[in-house]
Amino acid sequence: MSNGDTPKVLMIAYACNPEGGGEHWLGWRWAEEASKKYSVHLITTPNARAQVEKHATSHGIIPYFVEQPRGGRWGRKIRWQSRVLKFASELHTRKHFRIVHQTTFHTFRVPFLAADLGIPSVWGPVAGGEAVPAGFGGYLGPARFGETMRKLVNQLCLRLPAISRSMNRSSVIFVSNQTTLNFLPPNVRHKCLVVSPNALRPEDEMPMPSVARTPDQSSGLRLLYVGNCAHTRAMRIVFEAMTRGGLEKCRLTVAGTGEALNHWKQCASHLGLGKRVHFTGFVTRDKLPELYGTADVLVFPALRDSGGSALLEAMSKAIPVICLDWGGPGEMVNEQSGVKIPVSTPAKTVAAFAEGLRQLEQDSGWRRELCVGARLRACSHFTWANKRRLLEDTYDRLLSSS
């Protein structure tokens, strides 16, 4: 198609930085993938203006920057959306967009006001329907009461007119996992597609010389956690599992920082694991390959999570995952790429986690199979090529019916 015939897409990404990580990197990559077929106009904040402008030129993306209003975090996001709607409406009268797509925020709790532009609209991937299972509040430390409030806020948000209108006006809603899909109102589920928020970075897709790892059985299982130290990623479950009989040689490295770090350190010390758990603090990306290279298994005991970028990164490096069969991680990992622990009562879950670690430590053949399976699943299900196909199929379907 000539440039004049290329459908114009308006993308909105509050978090967007081509040189950033997490949600900021994902916000940019959706725009980059869409630009391979469509004329992309991108609205974001000025927070990473230099980085966005630097990369936008080479991809033919036209960026616009809407200033954030002052105020508290939640109110600031809502008011920014109002500013975006006004700006987008004025821009649409001149550019005549065919589709509008809000990619970040990654939550249904912030409305998609630009769905009111009167053109086909895509919202997401959005998450937020995940919740900590009943009975596990004691594993959240000081965050347990905040989680109770979050459940109430989630229910309230579904009833807010702006969010209800956003859901009803959106042509398609990408949801991060089946858990969030089941949480949304039944009348909008028919327009939802489950799309994992996470995807591999280009370096994670590079060929590996071998995916068959041979851990040193005499030194015990080498566990690794990488990521934000959030209370909902209940590391105490792993600590308690490590104290179970038969796992005396098991060692754990926790790489990351965050609000739960001190609480985790206290828990490990209280359980007598001081010499068996190493907390590295913040680790730069260039140091992560060294950590992954010495790990046998990634532990990811999240009680509430939409996905997990470190989980996927580990799988791409042929490191199997042991996680709870709950929320996004439970959907990303299958039986060929890791061990999913059933969530029932805390005592049964900890016992099952310990048994899973025991089997991983004792059965080297099974562990090697999981290494191969982890790499295969990551590279076959969570690539940007897959996301681009989904994006183009969705856009083209909307364009043909508009």
pLDDT digits (tens, 9 = 90+) for 33-84: 999 999 999 999 999 999 999 999 999 999 999 999 887 777 788 899 999 9
CATH of the domain at 238: 3.40.50.2000
Q: Tell me the three state secondary structure of residue 133.
A: coil
**Is 53 a domain residue?**
yes
The verdict on 340 and 362 lying in the same domain is yes
The verdict on 106 and 220 lying in the same domain is no
Which residues touch 98 (CB under 8 Å, ≥6 apart)? 7, 8, 9, 119, 120, 399, 402
The verdict on 349 and 367 lying in the same domain is yes
**Is 133 a domain residue?**
no
**Is 261 a domain residue?**
yes
The verdict on 115 and 209 lying in the same domain is no
| Residue 127 DSSP class | B
* pLDDT tens digits for range 92-108: 999 999 999 999 999 99
pTM of the model: 0.91
**Is 136 a domain residue?**
no
- pLDDT computed for residue 148 by the predictor: 86
Provide the domain limits for residue 252: 202-381
**Is 230 a domain residue?**
yes
The verdict on 241 and 368 lying in the same domain is yes
Lowest-confidence pick of 56-65, 86-95, 306-315, 386-395: 306-315
- DSSP strands (E only) in 304-371: 321-324, 338-341
**Domain count across the chain:** 2
The verdict on 53 and 183 lying in the same domain is yes
**Is 140 a domain residue?**
no
Residue 1 reports pLDDT greater than 50: no
The verdict on 93 and 228 lying in the same domain is no
The verdict on 222 and 179 lying in the same domain is no
- pLDDT computed for residue 77 by the predictor: 85
**Is 141 a domain residue?**
no
The verdict on 292 and 320 lying in the same domain is yes
Phi, psi of 284 (to 5 degrees): -70, 155
The verdict on 233 and 375 lying in the same domain is yes
The verdict on 181 and 249 lying in the same domain is no
pLDDT band at 2 (very low <50, low <70, confident <90, very high): very low
Residue 158 amino acid letter: L
**Is 322 a domain residue?**
yes
The verdict on 218 and 179 lying in the same domain is no
Q: Tell me the three state secondary structure of residue 129.
A: coil
